[in-house]
Amino acid sequence: MDAGVFDAEMRRIFERTWVYVGHESQVPAVGDYRTTTIGRQPVIMSRHEDGEIYVLLNRCRHRGSVVCRDEVGHSNYFRCPYHNWGYANDGALVGMAQSSGYPEDFDKSRWGLRKAPGVANHRGLVFAKLEEGGLTFEEYFAPVRKYVDWWLNRSPSGSISVLPGAHKYPYPGNWKWQAENGHDGYHGNYVHESWQRLLERAGEGTVRDVRKYRTGGCTRGFANGHGLLERPGGLNPAASWTGRMMVKYPEYAEALKGAYGDEEIEEISARRNIFVFPNLYLFDTQIRVINPLAVDRTEVHLYVYGLDGAPDELNRGRYRAHERFYGPAGFGSPDDVEIFVCNQTGLQASGVDWVLLSRGMHREKVNGDGETVGHSTDETPVRSLYREWKRLMAV
């Protein structure tokens, strides 16, 4: 728990490599914006009149004030509150107050809000990169791309819409506790025993059935730090959520079959928690963003989304299921957070140097695509995370 390591993580990982910034449905109209951070740096995700999304450093080029303080909004321009410098939605400097204080040949085009050197939009998921060089977005994203596409294709139109409002929870612990936990298939029977009892009580599966289900599927570790936890799918309603929804909503089944072939629907129906290094998780109901604040402080945001083209009732069922398990008052998330703070206290015992992340090393296999595939309870994806962490921290 070294603040110096945290500083290095921000500089060498978050403020250098590709990170997730937001979803395009959160800025649907020209003039819409959201503010967030990349590492420690405040940024604005803005929709300009050319229809494009810009990621701008939220810092006036004059004396350094932020030019936008709201989390979300709509505006024709960004105005610095200090000396009234104004910027267009693409960051271009439009004008300064009392501009006669600058020579006539003052080159405004040099003094726009600084743009992130890299911005990429994969089917609505917007990523940015604050430094030149390193992997291209295509290289960075390639190992996990097909799984993200299947995740999106639970929508018959292949797109999602993020709801306004989000579940947010802070915890007094390191960001990597959350990063390690989202694809950990080992903890469920213990941390979520209370949840398993609720499922049993509601007639949704006995504790024994749920535990059996939890041994199925696999973990996958990829290059570039990505990883996932996968539960098998199938079109049999007993086998998957998608299967059940296709029976319950025939119009959804028809729309999926119209859009995708049987084999692809089988893949779509698998349930995956996908980690896109270093700050993004894609879950069945939510886009989860990990925001490191300090070595011992983290904020997690859960952006719930609707599946475009799916029946309203199907999406409502997903929102209620989300509220039941996730968020600060859910029946699952707070149990996980409890572990993060237990870890944080435990690691003060610095007389022990290492944690053990070796589970499944003797049985994981590398497949033809170069993925490392482990048992669903193995720490295969965590090892991928730390391989990339180590690579970036060393260069």
Q: How far is the CB of 181 from other proteins (least distance, A)?
A: 13
Bridge partner list, 144 = none
For 3, half-sphere exposure in the C-beta direction (CA atoms, 13 angstrom radius) is 3
Q: Does 204 bind other proteins (CB under 8 A)?
A: no
Options 134-142, 225-233, 268-276, 328-336: segment touching other proteins (CB under 8 A): 328-336
Contact assessment for residue 40 and residue 113, using Cβ atoms and an 8 Å cutoff: no
Q: Measured from the CB atom, is 21 or 166 closer to other proteins?
A: 166
Going by the DSSP 8-state scheme, the letter that residue 115 receives in this structure is B
- Beta-strand relationship, 271-276 and 280-282: antiparallel
Among 335, 357, 386, 387, binds other proteins (CB under 8 A): 335
Rounded-to-integer distance, Cα 158 and Cα 238, Å: 24
Among 327, 360, 374, 381, binds other proteins (CB under 8 A): 327
Q: How far is the CB of 71 from other proteins (least distance, A)?
A: 8
> Residue 228: left (phi > 0), alpha (psi -120 to 50), or beta?
beta
Q: Measured from the CB atom, is 59 or 192 closer to other proteins?
A: 192
Q: Tokens in use for 302?
A: 């859960």
- The closest alpha carbon to 225, from 393, 377, 7, belongs to 393
Rounded-to-integer distance, Cα 130 and Cα 278, Å: 14
Q: How far is the CB of 68 from other proteins (least distance, A)?
A: 17
Options 31-39, 121-129, 256-264, 324-332: segment touching other proteins (CB under 8 A): 324-332
Q: How far is the CB of 368 from other proteins (least distance, A)?
A: 40
Q: Does 334 bind other proteins (CB under 8 A)?
A: yes
Q: Does 325 bind other proteins (CB under 8 A)?
A: no
Options 88-96, 99-107, 127-135, 299-307: segment touching other proteins (CB under 8 A): 299-307
Bridge partner list, 118 = 129
Chain position carrying tokens 């959160």: 26
Q: Does 337 bind other proteins (CB under 8 A)?
A: yes
Q: Measured from the CB atom, is 67 or 289 closer to other proteins?
A: 289
Q: Is the peptide bond before 278 cis (omega within 30 degrees of 0)?
A: yes
Q: Does 15 bind other proteins (CB under 8 A)?
A: no
Rounded to 5 degrees, what angle do the CA atoms 90, 92, 98 make?
140
For the chain, helix (H) and strand (E) counts, in that order, are 13, 20
Bridge partner list, 78 = 87
Q: Measured from the CB atom, is 149 or 323 closer to other proteins?
A: 323
Cβ neighbourhood burial of 153 (10 Å; 0-12, 13-18, 19+)? buried
Starting at the earlier edge strand, list the strands of the sheet with 78-79: 78-79, 86-87, 93-95
Touching other proteins, residues 345-374 (CB under 8 A): 345, 348
Touching other proteins, residues 16-55 (CB under 8 A): none
Among 299, 375, 387, 391, binds other proteins (CB under 8 A): 299
Among 5, 8, 329, 366, binds other proteins (CB under 8 A): 329
Q: Measured from the CB atom, is 151 or 171 closer to other proteins?
A: 171
Q: Measured from the CB atom, is 194 or 206 closer to other proteins?
A: 194
Amino acid type, 37: T
Rounded-to-integer distance, Cα 270 and Cα 147, Å: 10
Q: Does 181 bind other proteins (CB under 8 A)?
A: no
Touching other proteins, residues 144-173 (CB under 8 A): 163-173
Rounded-to-integer distance, Cα 306 and Cα 190, Å: 31
Among 62, 120, 323, 386, binds other proteins (CB under 8 A): 323
Q: Does 294 bind other proteins (CB under 8 A)?
A: no
For 52, other C-beta atoms within 10 Å of its C-beta total 13
Options 20-28, 98-106, 115-123, 339-347: segment touching other proteins (CB under 8 A): 339-347
Contacting residues toward other proteins, per CB under 8 A: 71, 163-173, 191, 193-194, 197-198, 201-202, 296, 299, 301, 304, 312, 315-316, 319-320, 322-324, 327-329, 331, 334-335, 337-339, 341-342, 344-345, 348
